[in-house]
Amino acid sequence: MRAVVFPPTLVVPVLFVTAACGSEEETATASVDEYCTVYTEVSAALEGTDWTAIDAAVGRLREVGTPAGTPQEAADGAAMLLAWEQDGGIERREPVTAQDGYRSYADLSDWSQATCDHGEVASMDEVFQRP
């Protein structure tokens, strides 16, 4: 599967959301393949400025969720993005990079890249190549 890399200075909204406000058990429902398919859809939508396509991709990700074992750092990024979307970020066309907690989004993006590249849930130690 080909994954898309997001540069850290990305100024279009990047949306990785999980099911609305719940525990990881409630939101960690996707297989890695399902998650990565949606991740790729979101990535493709974000290469443009079609807010309808972005909204549709977010809807798919909201339905699918994240895989079981998603690390807390990545889950925090999903929660930050969900809050941004729920607070009207799409409607106001606000870049997610301007949001408080942007670092948690970057962690989610890095984790998603590693998870989709390897076909299994990555640990944050693997993502950041920590011993």
43-78 pLDDT, tens digit each = 787 777 887 887 788 778 788 888 999 999 988 887
Q: How far is CA 24 from the centre of its chain?
A: 14
Confidence at 12, pLDDT banded by 50, 70, 90: very low
CB 62 within 8 A of CB 17: yes
> What pLDDT score does 48 carry?
77
pTM beyond 0.85, yes or no: no
The C-alpha angle with vertex 103 and arms to 11 and 39, in degrees rounded to 5, equals 65
